Amino acid sequence: MAYTNKIAIQDFSVSYSSEEALRKISLEILPNEIFVLFGPARSGKTTLLKSLNRLRDLIPGTRHTGSILIDGQDIYDAKLDLYQLRRRIGIVFDLPTPLPLSIFDNISYGPRLRGVYDKQRLKEIVEKSLRSAVLWDEVKDRLHTSALRLSGGQQQRLCIARVLALEPEVLLLDEPCSGLDPISTASIEESLRLLKKEYTIILVPHNIQQGSRVADRAGFLLNGDLVEVGTAYQIFTKPQNKKTEDYVTGKFG
Amino acid sequence: MRTPMRYLTQRIAKILIWIAALSTISVMIMILLQVLQEGIPALHPGFFLDSPRDMGREGGILSTIVGMAALTLLAVIVATPLGVGTAIFLREYTRESRVSRVIRFGTDCLAGVPSIIFGLFGFVFFVIYLKMGWSIASGGLTVAAMILPTIISTTEEAIKGIPHSYREVSYSLGGTRWQTVIHAILPNALPGIFTGIILSVGRSIGETAAVILTAGSSLLMPTSLFSPSRTMSVHFYILAREGISMEMAYGTGAALILLVLLINTVANGLLNRYVRHRT
């Protein structure tokens, strides 16, 4: 059986010790699309993203039911190689999180963990990743200075490059432009449009305008419920659900 | 507007705090000055390069410096991996549970045990039961047990201070727990671990009671880890306690203080260089 979807989420619920964070989410993500997942704070967006690469496993006291399939494979299968899963599904967090290492060492961190030590090969990976994240020209002369000295926008593109260095299949971006100026935001959005050719992207935008600018399809998440899913055009201009409409038009949020 | 009453309180508080700070510093300066004043006349190159003669009335202190260095080095080499390993276990390999609470309670208790008790334990266990005799090995292992709690708690504090995002990033890039510890946790905890080691070295150098019971008080130059040896602190204690030579005792004391100052200065310099290099 061929899978036309990249990710299939089926009846997926998550609860933290007492409260439910996600309720019976069912959603399919298609290959090479930018899927925008939006909704107010604490609606479960980050929980859903961190479930997809099982980073949520690090948080004590969470439980889930339902399943998530990637290329038809259940990611909660006990036989699954967890570390490989996390390399296949890269995540960029809302705040830039450079490690206190040089630019080069930040980008090559993932490949080195995977066992790539060849200097020449690492150099190629670093250059390719930085080019894809539209950062190469700004940092090519100082790859061995600390990543902490970059500006906020550069740090965030560094984080994107660091994920790209893993050569993942899916990119999860959790408000990657919060705290960035409009110019940095524009350059990140520009790189997303290029990256879509090779990757499947799930983006939590930091506002609805950004969502509507880059989305192919979008889903509205509210208090742990997936209220509505559709094409970007439909969701942002003709939402079917009253709650989606109220949120998109700014009646609450 | 400031009321006169509040103004007065402010003044009094300021004076009291100044007194507290000044008295602390002056006690320190008085000790330093007294020991250095009495001890410096004894300090000449021969004092560091000769071993003691005639019970320490004549000659220098070379064998005690060697004994102390060997004992301290052994203690640090044994305690650091154990302490750092325990701290990593507590912080990265277990969640808060009964096991981790018991371990932490145990190390806290260990930290509060008087050093003479460690000495007695070392004497009974290493010297007699394991037949290691009075030796640098017995002394070093005893001191290692003493400094373990310091290394555990400073390492734990250092690991606690590392942003959670470093862990998350490392795991999200496909790192295993071990890889995360090695590449994302330890390098960033190093300054804290280093501070713990420096504190431990200080404690080890100054320790007398536990060492006299486990390493003995031989003035001979140690030739192996199983030689008995007298450390500088023990030498100082015996010279003064038995009235052998106050002049040599103060000389040893002054040398000890200068050595500790030197170690702290060098260590701080190295630490600052490491931190600057990484940011």
Q: What is the mean pLDDT of residues B51-74?
A: 92
pLDDT-derived band at B1, boundaries 50, 70, 90:
low
Secondary structure (3-state) at A117 = coil
Q: Which two tokens stand for residue A93?
A: 């967090």
Domains of chain A: 7-248 (3.40.50.300)
Q: Is the pLDDT of residue A35 over 70?
A: yes
Q: Which two tokens stand for residue B39?
A: 């001890």
Query: For B200-222, what is each residue's pLDDT tens digit?
Result: 999 999 999 999 999 999 999 99
Distance from CA of A66 to the nearest CA of B (A): 22
Distance from CA of B18 to the nearest CA of A (A): 39
d(CA B206, CA B195): 17
pLDDT-derived band at B156, boundaries 50, 70, 90:
very high
Closest chain B residue to A168, measured at CA? B173
Do the Cβ atoms of A211 and A86 come closer than 8 Å? no
Contact between chains at B174 and A109 (C-beta distance less than 8 A):
no
Q: Is the pLDDT of residue A236 over 70?
A: yes
Closest chain A residue to B95, measured at CA? A60
Distance from CA of A251 to the nearest CA of B (A): 34
Partner residue opposite B279 with nearest CB, options A83, A100, A112 = A100
Q: Is the pLDDT of residue B2 over 60?
A: no
Please tell me whether the overall predicted TM-score, pTM, comes out greater than 0.90 for this model: no
Chain A within 8 Å of B176 (Cβ-Cβ)?
A: yes
Q: In chain A, which residues have their Cβ closer than 8 Å to the Cβ of B100? A: none
pLDDT-derived band at A3, boundaries 50, 70, 90:
low
Question: Given strand A73-74, what is the order of strands in its sheet?
Answer: A20-29, A7-16, A62-70, A73-74
Q: What is the mean pLDDT of residues A69-75?
A: 92
β-bridge mates for residue A221, sequence order: A226
Do the Cβ atoms of A68 and A75 come closer than 8 Å? yes
Query: For B108-118, what is each residue's pLDDT tens digit?
Result: 999 899 999 99
Query: For A178-215, what is each residue's pLDDT tens digit?
Result: 777 888 888 888 888 888 899 999 999 988 889 999 99
The residues near B32 (Cβ < 8 Å, ≥ 6 apart) are B257
Contact between chains at A84 and B168 (C-beta distance less than 8 A):
no
User: Superfamily assignment of B67-230 in CATH?
Assistant: MetI-like (1.10.3720.10)
Contact between chains at B165 and A97 (C-beta distance less than 8 A):
yes
Residue closest to A180 by CA, chosen among A202, A213, A163, A158: A158
Residue closest to B47 by CA, chosen among B37, B39, B36, B55: B39
- Domain chopping of chain B, boundaries: 67-230
